[in-house]
Amino acid sequence: MFKYHRFEKVRKELENIVGTGNVFTDTAELLMYSYDAGMARAKPEAVLLFTSIDQVAPAVKILYSAGIPFLPRIAGTNLSGGTIPLKGGVILNLTLLNKIRQIDTVNGIALVEPGVVNLRLQTELDKFGFFYAPDPSSQKVSTIGGNIGENAGGPQCLKYGVTSDNVTRLEVVTPEGEVKIWSFDDPGPDLMSLIIGSEGTLGIVTRAWLKILKKPESVKTAVAAFSSVESAIDAVARIVGAGIVPRALEAMDKISLNAAKKNLKTDYPPGTEAILLIELDGESDKVVSKELRAIMDICATCLSTYFKIAEDPAEREALWAARKGAYPAMARLDPNVMVEDGVVPRPRLPEALKETRAIISKYKLNAGLLFHAGDGNLHPNIIFDERDMQEVKRVRKAGYEILKSCIRLGGSISGEHGIGVEKRVAMSWMFDAPTLDFFGAIKTAFDPKDLANPDKILPVAADRRAKERLFEHDLFSEAVNALIAELRLRAVGGIKSLIRGTGTKFPKNTAVFNAKPLDTRALNKVLDLDRENFTVRAEAGMPIRELKKWLKKDGFDISMPDLEGTLGGAAASKAWPPMRDILLGMDVALADGKILSLGGKTVKNVAGYDAMKIFCGSMGAYGVILTVTLKTTLKAGPPGEVKDPKAPFKPEDHHRRLKKALDPENLLNPWVYES
């Protein structure tokens, strides 16, 4: 037991909140919470079972005041050790907080508690003709609270986005026991999106308002077989390159197929090495059938040996049962499975595949390969026996090498499974010291005592001493380097800056702040148009209308309105909140001139906090946006109307904490926090 039996000092207070029968400290009970679906192990001091949302904040307040670590847990299906109590403390079991409180089909919103199982929500929505887009393979058991904690994806995220794209508002219990309600379109920095993917380290979600969608009129599912995985991935590239956006585009290799034979209702041709599971949806059978014919032709060009369209719902369900049952199927082959979760820009997937196979062969391991192929997310399911310590070492080494490969290919160490404890060391390979310090500053601003799920996501001291650094900043233009140099010079002299682009959001009375203008209009270059990956990277001073014209000449567009002003200004002012849905990457200069490179060119990335979002709506008071990376399309869909902000931005406590952490001297746009 931990020193001074610290839990016993507050036990009575906590029993008064949750009930004596809902406080567990017996050894056998605690052992049940000493592991999750990852490989890490650690035992808590106690477990609290909550029966009402109203119990959470008072209990957290007591634990925080007593200095006892705590972490929320529901199903424990994360695959990175995210719900393991490394410092002892208390597990907050939210399983019984599982009410679907409202299904609002008029406004397209479902209000749910964190313990609602994903598949149960889907079943209830189906009765009304609606669905919730994020559909992780673990949806039979994983919960909405856990999905939010990990920013879960799933096959449908190719078309409909990951969890962060489908949550509109959250009720959060902060580490200090306060209750906050944050929405992505609140005036000011986007605190809600920062919570998503934070694995319980910044707060505990107790209610979530989710975006629900009307079920499409037509859904068609097909499967294509190939004599090589490379041919299947080539077909994926051609499908996406043709401008077709499937609802799902999944790949499985032969080992995964053999493991899933129990769920297979189809006999594939001899020599099949991989299949593609393809699902399309739309407003009419005519449109969907046309796209499906185009995909069939593409697969034939890529030498598919078999193509079959599901004839009825039962056949469609059988295809999905094989795909979503691949992980448990592999688990039946050996006592343990380690699932890696690297992601790369989709055009680099063939290289990632080649390197992953070479690594698995090098360490003499057996693995089935699964891909969310349309978004570059690969899942090698490596089977092993944890009783064989030598094999465990080989598995860990192989996993780390696969992650390093993804970083070198311009990707991320996690697309949807989180960082937890098992990938902390890899954070030091992916991010430089200033960016890791920045993540640490966010954690401290929300959790000054470091009690909310401590030692997760961020590398500890030993991890940060890792010698191998794979991170490199992209080269900046002369104009960007000049601005960075000017910022550093001003920081040394304590000179305040008023950041402005075209001035569309610039305040009128700035003279009283005794600050010098910092003009970003010279940052006006398009740095990269990745035609195969459907991304564009441009400097923040680029006018939005100019970027759209430039893209149009090349046959591309971005799904946002023809706003006045610059890219950086639109993000910093949150002129169009849905910009978050197409925002993939950002380079930012802090007040002292340190550079942060956040996100990248992948559509899925849960490595570290989703910190780009706090610069959206920050009005330049947290940092100067230097570059922005956005998704592109072949044709822009309806971008939605531009609305005036709901209310003027009035900083709350957490905004001010972040400001103090990132710009303690208030050197950037001082009017935002002094007005």
List strands edge to edge, sheet with 70-73.
23-24, 46-49, 90-93, 70-73
pLDDT, position 105: 98
Per-residue pLDDT band for 37 (boundaries 50, 70, 90) equals: confident
CA dist 266 and 269 (Å) reads 10
Per-residue pLDDT band for 675 (boundaries 50, 70, 90) equals: low
- pLDDT at residue 641 is higher than 80: no
pLDDT, position 460: 86
pLDDT tens by residue, 81-95: 999 999 999 999 999
Number of C-beta neighbours around residue 640 at 10 A: 13
Mean pLDDT on 338-358: 94
- pLDDT at residue 413 is higher than 70: yes
Mean pLDDT on 35-53: 94
**3-state secondary structure labels for all residues of 96-157:** CCCCEEEEECCCCEEEECCCCEHHHHHHHHHCCCEECCCCCCCCCCCEHHHHHHHCCCCCCH
Interacting residues of 412 by C-beta distance below 8 A, sequence separation 6+: 342, 343, 406, 430, 600, 602, 604, 605, 606, 607
CA dist 380 and 369 (Å) reads 5
Cβ pair 185, 207 in contact under 8 A: no
Mean pLDDT on 356-378: 94
Higher per-residue pLDDT: 650 or 514: 650
pLDDT, position 77: 92
pLDDT, position 462: 66
Rounded-to-5 percentages of helix, strand, coil across the chain? 35, 20, 40
Domains of the chain, earliest start first:
3-93 (3.30.43.10), 100-214 (3.30.465.10), 218-328 (3.30.70.2190), 334-464 (3.30.70.2740), 478-674 (3.30.465.10)
CA dist 611 and 588 (Å) reads 11
Per-residue pLDDT band for 479 (boundaries 50, 70, 90) equals: very high
pLDDT tens by residue, 596-625: 999 999 999 999 999 999 999 999 999 999
CA dist 167 and 189 (Å) reads 16
Q: What are the backbone dihedrals phi and psi of residue 240, each rounded to the nearest 5 degrees, phi first?
A: -65, -40
Residue type, 170: L
pLDDT tens by residue, 557-606: 999 998 989 999 999 999 999 999 999 999 999 999 999 999 999 999 99
H helix or E strand, kind and range, residue 47: strand 46-49
DSSP three-state, residue 544: helix
| Residues above pLDDT 90, as percent of the chain | 84
User: What is the pTM assigned to this prediction?
Assistant: 0.95
Interacting residues of 198 by C-beta distance below 8 A, sequence separation 6+: 149, 457, 609, 610
Cβ pair 207, 102 in contact under 8 A: no
Mean pLDDT is lowest, of 317-326, 393-402, 432-441, for: 317-326
pLDDT, position 507: 65
**3-state secondary structure labels for all residues of 565-633:** CEHHHHHHHCCCHHHHHCEEEEEEECCCCCEEEEECCCCCCCCCCCCHHHHCCCCCCCCEEEEEEEECE
Mean of pLDDT over the chain: 92
Q: What are the backbone dihedrals phi and psi of residue 153, each rounded to the nearest 5 degrees, phi first?
A: -115, -110
- pLDDT at residue 287 is higher than 90: yes
pLDDT, position 472: 67
pLDDT tens by residue, 107-143: 999 999 999 999 999 999 999 999 999 999 899 999 9
- Strand stretches in 487-575, DSSP E: 496-500, 515-519, 526-530, 535-539
Angle at 162 between CA 158 and CA 167, to 5 degrees: 140
CA dist 25 and 14 (Å) reads 13
pLDDT, position 645: 59
Please give the structure tokens belonging to residue 456. Answer: 């997760």
